[in-house]
Amino acid sequence: MSTSVSEHIYELEPHVKVARARAGVLLFIFSDALSVLAILAAGGYLSALNTEGAFMGKGDHPPAFLPTLGVAILLVLSGICYYLWERRERQSADSAPRVVYILAWALMLVTLAGQLWISITTKFATIDAYASVIIMLNWYSVFHYALAAIIGLLLLGRVLQGRRAGHDYVVEAIGYWWYYTVIASLLMWIFGMLL
């Protein structure tokens, strides 16, 4: 409820907008990273405890290597595309070719599809603790790719409409999330292989 007679439009200063975008996404990354660490720690701990010798059964193995490698490659390519697009875009807004961004996003979609397929088709005879950890790693990656795809879709909307000027910090912030998704998912993949 305003008591002032005339209304002013109070704009945040540009450096504050940049700072807040950075702080927001980095804090979000911090929180998500801790959750990934929690899962990795859970897997490592259960493996070390090997309760009743039942952590891993005879038929247990990680998901087939080649499909997961394929997904990892697509993921990294998506990150590289985003990076190339972002670098050009931050030099001057709306200058980078849209197709590079669209490619980055499309690659993320294919990564998501691939990971979904892997997660659905990885089956275990009994779902012991080892299988549980693999299942969790698989589906958490699905979750991360889906989140990146949704965020990317929103950015795609803006990119297609050319509404980019003055919003460099958005590209930068989403970039951080994008690269984090790549790194965290690679980490989960490697951990699953080594478990």
Which residues form the interface with another protein (CB under 8 A)? 1-4, 7-10, 12, 16, 19-20, 23-24, 27-28, 30-32, 34-35, 37-39, 42, 45-46, 49-56, 126-133, 135-136, 153-158, 161, 163
Whats the size of the chain, residue-wise?
A: 195
| Rounded distance between C-alpha atoms, residue 90 and residue 75, angstroms | 22
Distance CA 179, CA 109 (A): 15
> Min. distance of Cβ 11 from another protein in angstroms?
9
**Complex with another protein: residue 80 or 119, whichever CB lies closer:** 119
From the CB of 73, what's the least distance to another protein, in Å? Answer: 28
Give the Cα separation of 180 and 184 in Å (integer).
6
User: Which stretches does DSSP call E strand in 80-177?
Assistant: none
Smallest gap from residue 56 Cβ to another protein (A): 7
Task: Give whichever of 28 and 179 is closer to another protein, judged by the CB atom.
Answer: 28
Q: Which is nearer to another protein, 60 or 70 (CB)?
A: 60
Closer by beta carbon to another protein, 130 or else 145: 130
CB of 22 to another protein, least distance (A): 9
Give the whole-angstrom CA distance, residue 81 versus residue 132: 33
Cβ proximity of 67 and 51 under 8 Å: no
3-class state of residue 56 by DSSP: coil
